[in-house]
Structure formats: structure tokens, C-alpha cells
Structure 1
Amino acid sequence: MILNHLWGIYAHPKEEWQVIEQRHESVSFSLSHILIVALIPAIMGYYSAVHLGWSIGVGDRVMLSSADGIMMATAIYMGLVGGVFGLAYMIHWMSKTFDSEPTYTQALEIASYTATPLFMVGFAAFYPELWFIITVGLVGLSYSVYLLYTGVPIVMNIPEDKGFIYASSVVTVGLIFLVVLMTGSIVLWGWAFSPV
């Protein structure tokens, strides 16, 4: 099953990282995981922006037309998938600094499974209140960082002290990617989308 590690990374992450390390699935396996899980924030973003409306605090709910919602969902989806591939590339590129020689597939596994909690935050769009989305987003981000710190030493086969520094470098790159995605969405919102 494509999403067979999904429950394990929540229920028992260290053991699941060991399973992921032992199996080394193909690139298509990791790719299918990313492509399916990245649909959650895109679809939920569309649904909440078009049908529920966003509450940013005081005032009326902000909504998008259906056409703008589809463009927004497509941009979110492409940005998230591109961000995971960019993060996987950086994980692979930085590995030589930390005396590790992973395949790109291993780097993609780390990037895709650590991004999963952030993608699951998309379900919070059922209640599109800004304070709620931010709170759930911080929880998802925290768990993603935890998964990264536990998974890097196991999948990259390096000692935990090097894994901590390696994971810290990856977290920095991931946060930069996240800021770029958020900035891009703000620019798109003001430039391309017209709230109803």
C-alpha cells in the first residue's frame, strides 16, 4: 500500500524509520506518497476558500470564486510537491558534508515522510479560522521537525550527534522553503486572486 508508513510515523516513529531504512522503497513509491498526501492541503484549501470562507479575525469571511480557488489549489499543490523535491535535493547534497552517501531515494524518503505531518495540517481547513490554522500548523511543524531529528541518523546511517547537526541544517533549509512558499502564496493572493 502506498501510504503504509503513515500510521507508523505517528504511532512509533523510531521503529517506523527502521522499517523504512530496511526496505528502501523505489523512487516511484516515495513519489506516489508525496503526490497523494500533498492533495490534502490543496483540496482542503480549495474547499475552505470557495465554500466556507476564511476568517482572518474581525469582519466578514473572505472567499474566492471557484476559478480562483482552482488556481490557488493548483499553486499550493505544485509548491508543496516542488518543496519536497527541493528539500530532498538539499538533503542529498548536504550528505557528503556529514560523511553519508545516501541515494536520492533515501533523501526523498526522509523529505516525504517528514513533510507528511505538515500536509496533514490541511485537514484543519475544515475550521478556517486563522488562529486555529496557525495553532495546528505549529503542532504539525513541530512533529515534522521531531520526525526529521529521529529519522536522519537512522536512514542516513550516521551517529546521532552528526545526525543532530545534519537534521538542524535540513530544518533550516526546510524553514527557508516554507517561508518562500508562504511569501509566494501572499503575493499570489494579492496579485492573482480576487476575494469575493
Structure 2
Amino acid sequence: MLDNKDQGKIFLSSDYDLDIDERKVKYKNFNIVLCEICKNKINHNWYCRNCYDNENNEEKYRMLYGKCKRCFQAMKIRSWCLSCNSKRFEQDFNKWTSGNDEIDKLIKDSQTSSCILEWIPYDRFTDVKFLTEGGFANISSATWIDGRIEKWDQESNNWKRSEPIKVALKVSKVMKESMNPNPSEDFLNEVLYIE
């Protein structure tokens, strides 16, 4: 008798509404998964490459990343709805400040786009070790105990975060030496291009 792994399964076009993790769970018991439309094998990234090539951009995003469970728009980034997550960040704008209006604006602007910056209080870092002195900042390594935001968790109604991660900290010399911190334009531009 054949078990599920030896039998094929049809990948329905409605499965593109699921995110990649949900697709993996749905089809974990099958070795062969075929596209409902063209009958080609679904690839390891959980979409049909043959059908993908013939679709418009919006449908390609849906095929790659699924649909948001809240607004039902195709996600443009894996596990990340730009529209809904921007609104979630906006709701918290009044709950934090860096103490500097320019930096706050930079962070808030990023949180309503696809590049997310976050204000992280210094007490959320451990094992801080000085590494070197850069042009506009002193650079240290540290462990960020909360970890980075990965996606919105519908069940807990909160951000799902990675495990604690090692990060580089840049402490602005201008801000450190001044009681009324005003970061230079060069420093802010450097922050914009950190990956």
C-alpha cells in the first residue's frame, strides 16, 4: 500500500493565498505536488515556475508570498504586509522617542515603507564590546536580546521576533558630545545606507 508521500497531491490555485510556511505544512506529507493548472511539479519554493512566468506582477507576488489575512492584499515581502504593518507601527508612534526629532522622523518614515528601522532602548542590549572608531561614530558589538521583527503574529496580536542576535552598535560622536543632540546630515545619510 502506498502512503501519502508516494502519492501525488494537486496544488490548488487558492493555495497561493497561503504563505510559504502554511504551504509547507499543508503539503508536508507529499513528495510530489503538482500544479492544478499546468500539472507541472511545484518547486521547492512552493509555487509553479511555469505558471509564474505568465502572470502579472500582483499575481506573481501572491504566488511567491501569499495574501495578508487581514487586508487580503498580495504580500510584497515574505511574511510581511506593508499596508497592515505600517498601520501597526503608526499606532505606536506616540509610545517611544529617541529624544531627537530628526531621528524620530527617520525611523517613522522607514516604518511606513519597506525598510524598517526601530528605536531600541540601550537596556535591550547586552555584552556590549567596543570594536573601533569610525568617521561619525564609535562602533561596538552587542547582543540584542529581543531580536529583530520577523512578522506579525495574528494569534498573539504582537510582533514575532527572532531569537537574540549579535548586532553592531554605532554611537554618534556628535550626539554623544552634545547635550542638545543634532545629528549631522552625513550621520543620518550613513544610517540610511546601513544593511
TM-score (norm: length of structure 1): 0.30
Instruction: Give the structure with the higher percent helix.
Output: 1
Determine which structure has the larger strand proportion and give its number. 2
Which structure ranks higher in relative contact order (CA pairs < 8 Å, sequence separation ≥ 6)? 1
TM (normalized to structure 2)? Answer: 0.30
